[in-house]
Structure formats: structure tokens, C-alpha cells
Amino acid sequence: NPVYKGHVVMPNPASSGTGFLDVSSWMQIWDEQRAWDYMDKLHENISTYTHSGSKPCKLAAAGETTVGVSWPFRG
């Protein structure tokens, strides 16, 4: 959604296990082309890629970004 352009933070899949898990999950639940299409569109809205998996949610909780992409975990 273009309304979120510049308002999404996501962990970098090349340096964060959480980011890698996000990407690999999308590749597994959708066919490869749909996953790449989704990630291309998501990338247009990303303001920052972090090295930390929890940082996007912490930034969203602090009001520093609108959307923080992470991974749900019940511990």
C-alpha cells in the first residue's frame, strides 16, 4: 500500500536471522514469483533495514515508525 511508503522498517535478511526467516517463509508459503512480487512492493515502502530482528517492533512501539516487520513468537 503506497500510503506506507517510507513508514516501514524491516530486519535485513542478509544480516538478521529474523529477516531471513521472514523472506524464507514468504518463499515457502507462496510460489516464488508471488513472493518476489510481494517483496518488490514491500521494498518500495521500506524506510530502513535493520541488523536486529527486534528493532523494527521496538521502533514502532516507540512511535518512531508506523510499521515494524518482524516474526511472531510465543514464548
CATH code for the domain in which residue 27 is found: 3.40.190.10
Contacts of 68 by beta carbon, 8 Å cutoff, 6+ apart: 8, 9, 10, 55, 56, 57, 58, 59, 60, 61
Render each residue's pLDDT in the chain as its tens digit; 75 residues: 889 999 999 999 999 999 999 999 999 999 999 999 999 999 999 999 999 999 999 999 999 999 999 887 666
Residue 74 counted as domain residue: no
pLDDT of residue 2: 86
Q: How many domains does the chain have?
A: 1
Residue 6 counted as domain residue: yes
What's the pTM?
Answer: 0.86
pLDDT of residue 5: 96
Q: What are 70's three cell numbers?
A: 518482524
Residue 57 counted as domain residue: yes
Residue 54 counted as domain residue: yes
Residue 47 counted as domain residue: yes
Q: Which domain holds residue 12?
A: 2-68
pLDDT of residue 22: 95
Residue 31 counted as domain residue: yes
Residue 17 counted as domain residue: yes
pLDDT of residue 74: 65
